[in-house]
Amino acid sequence: MKKLLKNISIVCATLAIVMITLVGLTSCDWFKKEVTYTATSGFYWSSDAGATYKSGTKEYEVGENVYMQLIVKVDSSSDKNEEIGVTLTVPYIQDVVSKYFDGQVITPEVDELNHTTTYNFTVIASNNAAESKFVFKFIPTKATDITLKLEFDDKISDIYDKQNTVTFIEKTSE
């Protein structure tokens, strides 16, 4: 009987050690599933004060108010919401105003040396992410092509970064 109790005690102790070890190992990062991300984004343009937006026409006259709506969405395989950094770089032109869709102004960083304006903002990534919308107003002061660059932070693959070119032309006489 003593031998049976001793064997049961050894088995219980061994099971306890195995359970503790498994719990410890499963909480380690290398046992956790890697979170994956997919991002979608789009540039949409308007010359009617933002009443309508379209992705096709990207040629506007100097002096005309031009609105750009940027829509960004980041889905993740995680159940947790996570902030993802997004950067929009615009070659420097005067009078660019930017706002979150709710009207809150986004303060840019202006690099006079490289002639760029950079907007840094965040979006929420989740397994059921909502679209984030941003509105930018351009008042072009000269005829030029500008290429906007949208980049996500390091968690998101570079394949989701985007570029979009818009052309500002001299007013045509009628």
Return d(Cα 59, Cα 140) in angstroms, integer. 11
Do 114 and 41 have their domain in common? Answer: yes
Both tokens of 21, joined, read: 């070890």
| 174 is a domain residue | no
> Which residues does 68 contact at the CB level (< 8 Å), separation at least 6?
43, 44, 45, 46, 135, 136, 137, 138, 148, 166
Structural domain harbouring 140: 37-169
Distance CA 50, CA 68 (A): 8
pTM of the entire predicted model: 0.73
Say what the pLDDT of residue 135 is: 86
Query: Hey, is 6 helix, strand or coil?
Result: helix
User: Which pLDDT score is estimated for 109?
Assistant: 85
Q: Which amino acid would we find at residue 156?
A: I
Per-residue model confidence as pLDDT tens digits over 97-117: 565 666 667 778 888 888 888
Q: Average pLDDT per run of 10 along the chain, which is 174 residues long?
A: 66 66 58 85 90 84 87 93 93 62 73 86 91 86 88 95 91 72
Q: Residue 164 has what pLDDT?
A: 92
One domain for residues 49 and 125: yes
Residues 99 and 19 in one domain: no
Q: Does residue 149 sit within a domain? A: yes
pLDDT at 91: 83
Q: How many domains does the chain have?
A: 2
Q: 14: part of which helix (H) or strand (E)?
A: helix 2-26
Q: 3-state SS of 121-137?
A: EEEEEECCCCCEEEEEE
Return the structure tokens found at 168.
């500002």
Residues 50, 168: Cα–Cα separation, whole Å:
18
56 and 23 belong to one structural domain: no
Cα–Cα distances (Å) from 89 to 11, 57, 133, 163, in that order, read 64, 20, 16, 10
14-35, pLDDT tens digit by residue? 766 767 766 665 555 555 678 9
What pLDDT sits at residue 10? 72
Instruction: Say yes or no: 14 and 75 in one domain.
Output: no
Asked if residue 61 and residue 16 are part of one domain, the reply reads no
